[in-house]
Chain A
C-alpha cells in the first residue's frame, strides 16, 4: 500500500529544532497508523484511493500534526536549544580532549614499551626500533591532523542532520579546524631519555613555523569540511543547485 511520505512534515519539524530521533519515530508511527486506517476504510467498503484519502484526513492536517509536536519544548534537540554550546564550546572541548587523550595514551604506551624492552637489562639503553618510531609518528599525525578534521566533519553532519543554519555549522567547523591545525605533537628519542612535546602556534612566542603551518592546515581542513558540507547538501536536495542557478538567471 502506498503511504504518504510526510516529507514536508519531517522537514518542518527538523527545521523547528525537534530532535531527529523524535521526528523519525513520529513519522514511522504516523505511517503505520495511516496504513491501519486505510485498511479499516477498505474493510468498510471504500475503494483504495478513497480509503487512503480518508485515512490521511483522519490522521490530521500537517499543521495540526506539527503544532502538537512543536508545543513540547522537551522534544527539541540539544543543538537547537544550545547551539552556542554544541557548535561553539563543543569543538574546543573535543579538540582539547583529543589532544589530552592522545598524549596520555602515548605516554603510557611509551612507558610500558620501555619497561618491556629493558626488563632484562634496565641499565642498557638501546635506540627504539624503527617500527616504534613510525607508530608514534603516525599516532601524533592522527591526533593533530586527522582528529580536528574528523571533529569538523562530525559537527558538519550533526548540524546538517538537525537542519542547523550554515552559520552555526561553519562556526563549529572553523573553530575545530583552526584550533586543531595550530597544534603539533612531537616525540624525540634523545638517547638517554625520550621527549614528548606539544607545540602551539596560538600562544606566545608564536613560532613562525607553527603559525604558517597551522594556517595552511586550517585552510586545507576547512576546505575539505566545506566540500563535505556542499556534497551532503547536494545529496539531500539534488535540485538545490539547479534551483539556485535558475533563480540567479531569473534575477538577471
Chain B
C-alpha cells in the first residue's frame, strides 16, 4: 500500500504538470472558493485555481526538492562521517562540531539560516541540508568506527590496498544498509520541515504552489473553505506515512533485531 502511494507520487514528480487536469496557475474569478465538485475534484482556491492540479504540481516540487536535499545530505554526511570515523584525530574535531550543532533544536537552526539568507529555492535547500547533515554524519561515524576494527580492513591494509579504496570499497559499502534506513526516515523529516518553513513564511516564495504554502494561505479561509486546508495536509501526511512505512520495512529487513529508536526532527 505504502509503495503504491509512493509510486503514484514519484510518477507525479517525474511527469509533473502533464498529469494535472487544469493549468495550476490559471485564475478564474467566477470560480472562486468552489467546494469539491465533479469538475474540480478538490475544489478551487481564492483565485479560482484548481486545487487538484495545484496539489499535483506541489507533489513534484516538494518531492523533487526533498530528494535533492537528501542527496546533498547523503554526500556530505557520508564523507564527513566516514572520514572522521576512519581518521580519529579528524573525528575528534569534526564530531565536537557536530555535537555542538545538535544541542539546538534543528528546526530553529533551519529557520534562522533560511531567514538570514532570504527566500528562495537554494536557501531552503541549503538550510535544511545543513541541519540534517550532522545527524547522518554522526551515524556514519559510529558505523565506521565499528567497521574499521574488522579483520578484513586490517587484511586489506596489510596487502597494501590504498586508503581511499579501503574507505570507499571496504568501509562505506558495508555501512550502506543502515545509511539507507536513516535516509528514508530523514526524507520524511525533510518533507515535514519544508512544510513548516513554508508555513512560517521563510520557505519557498509564497506564490509557488507547495504543500506548506497552500496550507498557510488556507488559514484565512478556514471556515469558508475547509477543503483548502484538508487536501494539501492529506497529501503531506500520505507521503510521510508511506515513507515511514517503507523505512520501517527496510529496517526490519536489514536488521531484524534493530530497536525502534527516536527519530528526532
Do A and B originate from a single complex? Answer: no
